[in-house]
Amino acid sequence: MTKWTETTPIQAGTVTGEITFMVPTEQRPYVHTEALTGETEPHYHAELQRREVSIHDARAQAPELSLDRHGIELRQRPSAVKDFYDNTSVEQEYYPEIEALVREATGASRVLIFDHTRRRDDGSGNAKTPADRAHNDYTEWSAPERVRDLLGEEEARHLRDVPFVQVNAWRPIRGPVRRSPLAVLDAATIDPEDLIATDMVYPERTGEIYHLAFNPGQRWLYFPAMQRDEVLLIKGYDSRTDGRARFVPHTAFQDPGTPADEPPRESIEVRTLAFFE
């Protein structure tokens, strides 16, 4: 498996884009979510900074990328779903497709799908806007907590020693995606010290995610012009600590070469837990 290094040739499709990072401080950062504020944007109680970074076209390397090493895999996987804005179709038709895909990609014996989110970068329709800060959805604390929330204390105790991963399946609803594409950090280039635990404050609970501090050794990747029949698998957490990729920070970014009249990005992400019982 190829390991990215500073001498790895930059691909022809590399772009320079701005990514929003969190600045480490002595004070623990927290976010008042939209659900708490009632507004369209969360309130960040933290210091943020935007940095220009190289974001590399990873299509040529796609066959070499793996969930275990890099934390991502691009899969060609058409869907039978005709309307991704119909929740019934998504839950009855799409969930089984993603369950089978995650089981195949991870080798897990059990896959649990627990929600999905649609995003549009024009803010219209039944969709959220893309997340535009480098983040990872789960932390050392919040991933096991999610298992307890979903399965209850008794089953969580039963699964306490069972390895598991959290995997997101990200697909364009319409392609090709040129506006607000998704940038992902090659997990082989993560320094764990750059992961900043952040409280996410909701009306009835407080969750936790990682934001990311900038590090010049990070290598950012993207898959330009993703189509509807492509799925990007992104590992949000791995309970195993044997050297595998465990976290994959990611964010939307603006490709400066995108024409102004491109249609909005529309995507759907499905969140899963995969257990190795």
pLDDT at 12: 57
Evaluate the omega torsion of the peptide bond into residue 176 and state whether it is cis, within 30 degrees of 0: yes
Structural domain tally of the chain? Answer: 1
pLDDT at 131: 93
Cα dihedral: 156, 160, 165, 167 (round 10): 10
pLDDT at 123: 80
pLDDT at 4: 36
pLDDT at 126: 81
- Kind and range of the H or E run holding 267: strand 266-275
Q: What is the pLDDT of residues 62-109, one digit of tens each?
A: 999 999 999 999 999 999 999 999 999 999 999 999 999 999 999 999
Pairing of strands 135-136, 206-212: antiparallel
Residue 7: pLDDT over 90: no
Question: How far apart are the C-alpha atoms of 17 and 181, rounded to whole Å?
Answer: 11
Question: How far apart are the C-alpha atoms of 200 and 103, rounded to whole Å?
Answer: 30
Q: Does 6 reside within a domain?
A: no
What is the CA 257 to chain-centroid distance, rounded? 23
Pairing of strands 164-172, 182-185: unpaired
Q: Does 9 reside within a domain?
A: no
The structure tokens listed for 7 are 């001498």
Question: How far apart are the C-alpha atoms of 228 and 198, rounded to whole Å?
Answer: 33
What is the CA 222 to chain-centroid distance, rounded? 12
Question: How far apart are the C-alpha atoms of 135 and 250, rounded to whole Å?
Answer: 6
Q: What is the CATH number of the domain that holds 229?
A: 2.60.120
Residue 5: pLDDT over 70: no
- What residues are paired with 72 via a beta bridge? 234
Closest CA to 65 of 270, 248, 199: 248
Q: Does 5 reside within a domain?
A: no
Closest CA to 238 of 170, 136, 149, 169: 136
86 and 21 Cβ atoms separated by less than 8 Å: no
Domain range for 254: 15-275
192 and 140 Cβ atoms separated by less than 8 Å: no
pLDDT at 71: 98
The pLDDT confidence band at residue 194, using thresholds 50, 70 and 90, is very high
Question: How far apart are the C-alpha atoms of 70 and 72, rounded to whole Å?
Answer: 6
Q: Does 143 reside within a domain?
A: yes
Q: What is the pTM of this model?
A: 0.94
Residue 9: pLDDT over 60: no
- Kind and range of the H or E run holding 157: helix 142-158
75 and 233 Cβ atoms separated by less than 8 Å: yes
Q: Does 8 reside within a domain?
A: no
Q: Does 103 reside within a domain?
A: yes
Q: Does 3 reside within a domain?
A: no
pLDDT at 10: 39
Q: For all residues of the chain together, what is the average pLDDT?
A: 94
Of the chain, the percentage scoring pLDDT greater than 70 comes to 96
Q: What is the pLDDT of residues 158-192, one digit of tens each?
A: 999 999 999 999 999 999 999 999 999 999 999 99
Q: What is the pLDDT of residues 215-266, one digit of tens each?
A: 999 999 999 999 999 999 999 999 999 999 999 999 999 998 899 899 999 9
Q: What is the pLDDT of residues 121-150, one digit of tens each?
A: 998 888 899 999 999 999 999 999 999 999
The structure tokens listed for 154 are 């008794």
CB neighbours (10 Å) of residue 27? Answer: 9
